[in-house]
A and B are shown apart, each in its own frame.
Chain A
Amino acid sequence: AQSVTQPDIHITVSEGASLELRCNYSYGATPYLFWYVQSPGQGLQLLLKYFSGDTLVQGIKGFEAEFKRSQSSFNLRKPSVHWSDAAEYFCAVRSSNYQLIWGAGTKLIIKP
């Protein structure tokens, strides 16, 4: 069955520190992978997506993610977080019937 796992429910990092949010997927074919961010009181915003080609994709707000087929992972990274990055982050994979299958989300907390 198709699934997405985000193993970390919460992550706390200091402002200026680097960040990596984990995402593992289970999908039979070549996956189309997404990272979305949801800030408090706001809708979901697409950070970046992977369909094919270069396995390191760049997104908005300084985020990047690397697709690793051998590890079934699509981890989100940022070299230096800002307090405004505090939000909930969702990883998703597009299923064969065009729906998005979502991870449970990771809440990012920024320490001053």
Chain B
Amino acid sequence: GAGVSQSPSNKVTEKGKDVELRCDPISGHTALYWYRQRLGQGLEFLIYFQGNSAPDKSGLPSDRFSAERTGESVSTLTIQRTQQEDSAVYLCASSLGTSSGNTIYFGEGSWLTVV
């Protein structure tokens, strides 16, 4: 597609339920990133995929968070047993590669509210 697409754009879920967030990167982009932005705060890195390499999961806040990516296409971020502190905007981004000239393009985010 023309840009990074994320779904759902908004999700309200009950505490303790699992949620799955989807990201469609720009076609041909090998690098894919997930970030979290809590209300009034900056961006937190969560996870990074690059081609077929093992993902960098160093930013995942707990074992309730996991992410997968199918080849160089769609990625899903899963949050199990959601907690109220998981409420945030989850942003996905992609880039052609990781060299300095590659711009990172962001989706519009998935706004998650845990009640």
A residues whose Cβ falls under 8 Å from a Cβ of B: 32, 34, 36, 41-46, 49, 51, 90, 92, 94, 97-105
Cα-based distance from A104 to B43 in the complex (angstroms) = 7
Contact across chains for A99 and B56 when beta carbons are under 8 A apart: yes
Contacts of A51 in B (CB 8 A): 100-101
Contact across chains for A99 and B42 when beta carbons are under 8 A apart: no
Interface size on B, residues (CB 8 A): 24
Contact across chains for A90 and B50 when beta carbons are under 8 A apart: no
B22: shortest Cβ distance to chain A, in Å?
A: 15
Residue of A36, A41, A92, A99 near B48 (CB, 8 A) is: A99
The residue on A at minimum CB distance from B103 is: A46
5 A–B contacts, CB within 8 A, in A order? A34-B104, A36-B106, A97-B48, A100-B33, A101-B45
Give a binary string over B59-99; 1 marks a CB under 8 Å from any A CB, 0 the rest: 00000000000000000000000000000000101000010
Cα-based distance from A65 to B100 in the complex (angstroms) = 18
The residue on B at minimum CB distance from A30 is: B100
Cα-based distance from A44 to B3 in the complex (angstroms) = 12
Contacts of A100 in B (CB 8 A): 33, 43, 45, 104
Is B107 part of the binding interface, using a Cβ–Cβ cutoff of 8 Å?
A: yes
Contacts of B31 in A (CB 8 A): 98
Contact across chains for B91 and A44 when beta carbons are under 8 A apart: yes
Contacts of A44 in B (CB 8 A): 91, 93, 106
A16: shortest Cβ distance to chain B, in Å?
A: 28
A43-B104 in contact given A90-B43, A102-B42 (Cβ < 8 Å): no
Is B4 part of the binding interface, using a Cβ–Cβ cutoff of 8 Å?
A: yes
Contact across chains for A99 and B45 when beta carbons are under 8 A apart: yes
Contacts of A49 in B (CB 8 A): 103
Besides the known contacts A49-B103, A105-B42, 4 further A-B residue pairs in the complex with CB atoms under 8 A apart: A43-B91, A46-B104, A102-B35, A102-B42
Contact across chains for A43 and B106 when beta carbons are under 8 A apart: yes
Contacts of A101 in B (CB 8 A): 45
Contacts of A105 in B (CB 8 A): 41-42
Contact across chains for B106 and A98 when beta carbons are under 8 A apart: no
Contacts of A46 in B (CB 8 A): 103-105
